[in-house]
Amino acid sequence: MNAKELSEKLLYRKKSVYEKADKKTVDAAFDFAKGYAAFLDAAKTEREAVYTSIKMAEEKSFRPYKMGDALKAGDKYYYNNRDKNLFLFVIGNEPIENGIRINAAHIDAPRIDLKQCPLYEEGGMSFFKTHYYGGIRKYQWVAIPLSLHGVIVKADGTRITVNIGEDEGDPVFYINDLLPHLGHETDKKPLGEAIPGEKLNVLVGSRPYDAAEGDAIKLNTMYLLNEKYGITEDDFLSAELCVVPAFKARDIGFDRALLGAYGHDDRVCAYPALTALLQEDAPTHTLMCVLADKEETGSEGNTGMKSALLPDLINQIAVALGGDPAVVRANSKCLSADVSCAYDPNFSDVFEKRNTPLLSCGVVLTKYTGSRGKSSTNDASAEYVGWLRGVMERAGVVWQAGELGKVDVGGGGTVAKYIAGHNIETVDLGVPVISMHAPFEVISKVDLYEAYLAFIAFSRD
């Protein structure tokens, strides 16, 4: 055996999907990305992601599930948790005590929420005060077109859906930035301090109502909102409104192999996890797809993965099929499907190249996340990771190992530890992203497709 052959046999080397997969797979990946791009444009908030996913599920004969419903093999259900968090499941043919195969991704993304008393006027303009949601680099959110999404619930229960800035004819919104001519002092500040949170005020108007005195621009803004939505200023008190980038998903590069969009984290895992489940009709295993909310703020609250709803639903399914819930959980397996960070040569100093995911080298299996000495992580067992390696190999999925950046530089978490806490085997798997949490993030189409293939392999093995 010569050195080249021996090296192929003994040494681990990441290979790109273009090197390992055939042209048919690459073509399929580019095609799959079209459906994903449409999903991204339709689902910029967790609520919109829930509605879009339900529509897709109903087209595949999924029906709404109520706790206590009888269940049998082949049943396809979804459970809508407060319009922000969705569970979909297909009952398998094998005994439920063999466990459930769970793919869990999140559908919330970093953004800028309106405060409860948002509207004010100053300097000939009206603005919304905001409180950002999730980890953003604030300087990235100024001077870009923004759209407004969300719901307003009036005291009488009337619910108004808001979506402005996405259609061609819509106006967009904006956060002012300082001109370079007057920016010399600001330019000396660290990036994290140049744009403080209280400067993220969204420009929404500049024309006064008639010739009214005092706050006439604010009044006109409120007048227009009243005309369009029938709301008064106090209705903001019970609203969930947020601004997100108004961009659509777009191909990036001459070869169109990358996709740029707002909110790849974590729709780039949610979409393939969902579509992988929707095509299952009579699976062997019982399958579940979880689309979680609140991951970006710590998975808190009744729509986040720290809530009791996941074990509650597993218990309901177990009992309906005559299984012991504890046994079902103990035999369940989960892919915590969340993005990973791709090596970026522009910022090579924060990455440890041997253990960082590379763009277009396939879906990333992350044994542990966390930070500073593996704190706050689910560290998946060698046994579980070993089993998954076999699953991927049998299905020919192109995958790579990877962790987030250098040991002492920072870190991050996912929902994995909350699911593992229910005594469920869990490991992180997802798509590598460039410029994660930026208003416009970048992924590789072939990595997206390998994630889809990984979810199918995991469901069927």
Residues in contact with Mn ion by the rule CB under 5 A: 265-266, 338
Distances (CA, A) of 242 to 63, 111, 368, 405: 30, 7, 32, 30
Nearest to 175 by CA among 239, 241, 243: 243
Cβ-based nearer residue to Mn ion, 300 or 393: 300
Q: Which residues does 250 contact at the CB level (< 8 Å), separation at least 6?
A: 259, 260, 261
Cβ-based nearer residue to Mn ion, 138 or 329: 138
Smallest separation (angstroms) from Mn ion to the CB of 141: 15
Backbone angles phi, psi at 412, to 5 degrees: -170, 170
Smallest separation (angstroms) from Mn ion to the CB of 170: 27
Cβ-based nearer residue to Mn ion, 307 or 331: 307
Smallest separation (angstroms) from Mn ion to the CB of 394: 28
Cβ-based nearer residue to Mn ion, 305 or 317: 305
Cβ-based nearer residue to Mn ion, 265 or 425: 265
Cβ-based nearer residue to Mn ion, 162 or 339: 339
Smallest separation (angstroms) from Mn ion to the CB of 78: 22
The residue number with the shortest CB distance to Mn ion is 266
Cβ-based nearer residue to Mn ion, 347 or 393: 347
Smallest separation (angstroms) from Mn ion to the CB of 429: 12
Whole-angstrom distance, CA of residue 114 vs CA of residue 237:
10
Smallest separation (angstroms) from Mn ion to the CB of 203: 27
Mind spelling out the 3-state secondary structure of the chain? CCHHHHHHHHCCCCCCHHHHCCHHHHHHHHHHHHHHHHHHHHCCCHHHHHHHHHHHHHHCCCEECCCCCCCCCCCEEEEEECCCEEEEEECCCCCHHHCEEEEEEECCCCEEEEEEEEEEEECCEEEEEEEEECCCCHHHHCCCCEEEEEEEECCCCCEEEEEECCCCCCCCEEECCCCHHHCHHHHCCCHHHHCCHHHCCEEEECCCCCCCCCCHHHHHHHHHHHHHHCCCHHHHHHEEEEEEECCCCEEECCCCCEEEECCHHHHHHHHHHHHHHHCCCCCCCEEEEEEECCHHHCCCCCCCCCCCHHHHHHHHHHHHCCCCHHHHHHCCEEEEECCEECCCHHHHHHCCHHHCCCCCCCEEEECCCEECCCECCCCCCHHHHHHHHHHHHHHCCCEEECCCCCCCCCEECCCHHHHHCCCCEEEEEECEEECCCCCCEEEEHHHHHHHHHHHHHHHHC
Whole-angstrom distance, CA of residue 238 vs CA of residue 44:
21
Smallest separation (angstroms) from Mn ion to the CB of 45: 15
Cβ-based nearer residue to Mn ion, 311 or 430: 430
Smallest separation (angstroms) from Mn ion to the CB of 73: 33
Backbone angles phi, psi at 137, to 5 degrees: -95, 105
Cβ-based nearer residue to Mn ion, 307 or 315: 307
Cβ-based nearer residue to Mn ion, 242 or 321: 242
Smallest separation (angstroms) from Mn ion to the CB of 247: 18
Smallest separation (angstroms) from Mn ion to the CB of 219: 39
CB atoms inside a 10 Å sphere around CB 382: 9
Smallest separation (angstroms) from Mn ion to the CB of 185: 32
Smallest separation (angstroms) from Mn ion to the CB of 266: 4
Cβ-based nearer residue to Mn ion, 329 or 437: 437
Cβ-based nearer residue to Mn ion, 46 or 338: 338
Quote the tokens at residue 11.
Answer: 């040494």
